[in-house]
Amino acid sequence: MLGVGYPFAVYFMQGSISSHGFILVALSLLALRAFTARSDLARIWRMPLLVTAAILIATTFLNADIAEKTYPALMSLAAALTFGCTLFYPPSLIERFARLRRRDLPPAGVSYCRKVTIIWTGWLVINAAISIGLALWGSLALWTLWTGLLSYLAMGLLFASEYAFRHLMPGYRLSR
């Protein structure tokens, strides 16, 4: 939840805190996520988060003012990497979530979960591209609006749409 507030902190505290200060906050958030994961499912995020931290540090050396705004995009890319890797090393991430509720997932359910994982991977890459574009060429206000609100609304719409589709369409219901 702290990461959700990061864009607003950058917006409202710009000028009060240096770019390096925001980068330290972002790195602290990444470390907190990476090293407090306890479940097997949560641990698969560790390596993408460490890669994200390395990219953030490297970006800082290139341009600290831009680097402070890359945290949301890098988090989206870390999630995309996590989702995407499970497509090559099954079970897919969505299947892993589904199996928490239903161990005996039928083959059609496995296929459906794979497709949903592909959709989420695509969304996360698109979100990262928009976030990076706004960090480079957009205003701080527009970047904050996208990374702090609109991207989460879009993500919620995607989740709600998939949930409705899964529960309303015959043959796609994964729960009993």
List pLDDT tens digits, range 80-130. 999 999 999 999 999 998 998 888 888 988 999 999 999 999 999 999 999
The Cα 130–Cα 127 span in angstroms is 5
Report if residue 130 sits inside a domain. yes
Report if residue 102 sits inside a domain. yes
The Cα 116–Cα 92 span in angstroms is 9
Q: How many CA atoms lie within 13 A of 61 on its CB side?
A: 5
**Structural domain containing residue 100:** 3-168
Report if residue 25 sits inside a domain. yes
The Cα 116–Cα 83 span in angstroms is 10
Cβ neighbors of 61 (< 8 A, separation 6 or more) are: none
Q: How would residue 167 be classed by pLDDT, with cut points 50, 70 and 90?
A: confident
Report if residue 151 sits inside a domain. yes
The answer to whether 129 and 151 are in contact (CB under 8 A) is no
Percent of the chain predicted with pLDDT > 70: 95
Output the pTM of the full model: 0.88
Q: How many domains does the chain have?
A: 1
pLDDT score recorded for residue 39: 73
Report if residue 99 sits inside a domain. yes
Report if residue 174 sits inside a domain. no
pLDDT in tens, 44-57: 888 888 899 999 99
Report if residue 173 sits inside a domain. no
Cβ neighbors of 122 (< 8 A, separation 6 or more) are: none
Give backbone dihedrals phi and psi of 97, rounded to 5 degrees, phi first.
-65, -45
Report if residue 176 sits inside a domain. no
- DSSP letter (8 states) at residue 92: P
